[in-house]
Chains A and B, each alone.
Chain A
Amino acid sequence: GAVVSQHPSWVICKSGTSVKIECRSLDFQATTMFWYRQFPKQSLMLMATSNEGSKATYEQGVEKDKFLINHASLTLSTLTVTSAHPEDSSFYICSARDREGGVYEQYFGPGTRLTVT
């Protein structure tokens, strides 16, 4: 099946620093990638949708200048959390939609747990 990887799997950073999270589709091309955020024992909240070669579409309430998304190729999207604060600590999950497959399936990465101290 389709595999999506994320790196790093966990990261601890100091308040005020920036963190970059990579999301890669390993065996398929993904024209669209999604970034979610999940707080403990809560559901996945869509942050933004990124299409290869174009600007990301952010959900209401998500600061685009704080959460920078770049979808430079059909297999890579990055999320950069700028000037991180403790309230940004969360589980960030990306998912990718297969370009060649049906329009319905999304494949999720393993997630990145961010802790801001």
Chain B
Amino acid sequence: GQQVMQIPQYQHVQEGEDFTTYCNSSTTLSNIQWYKQRPGGHPVFLIQLVKSGEVKKQKRLTFQFGEAKKNSSLHITATQTTDVGTYFCAGRSSGYSTLTFGKGTMLLVSP
């Protein structure tokens, strides 16, 4: 079955440093989504990428979808303490298939 791998599992940065999490799928994806889950909270949808090579930005967050549609990344520039949480990628092999979540990357930001 489809597998989605995410690295690193955990990263601790100083406020102001950059952060990147990577997501790789064992199969070609129809689309990939990114979610953020704050400690004790539930996953909140951040963005969806559909096109090969797509790059989207949300303020300090940059999302990329690989040319082969098998990998993706989330980059945060100049992290802030409010960025703390676990970031999950979730891939879908076709339009109506279920989402397969990566294991998530837990980000801790020290002031």
Contact = CB atoms under 8 A, between A and B. Distances in A.
Contact of A103 (B44, B96, B102, B103): B96
Nearest to B104: A43
A93 B43 contact: yes
Interface in B48-64: 48, 50
A45 B43 CA distance: 13
Interface string A90-105: 0001000000000111
A49 to B, nearest CB: 6
A105 B98 contact: no
Contact of A43 (B41, B92, B96, B102): B102
Interface in A21-66: 34, 41-46, 49
Interface of B: 31, 33, 35, 41-45, 48, 50, 88, 92, 95-96, 98-104, 106
25 contacts: A34-B98, A34-B99, A42-B103, A42-B104, A43-B88, A43-B102, A43-B103, A43-B104, A44-B43, A44-B88, A46-B100, A46-B101, A49-B98, A93-B42, A104-B31, A104-B33, A104-B92, A105-B33, A105-B48, A106-B45, A106-B99, A108-B42, A109-B42, A110-B41, A111-B41
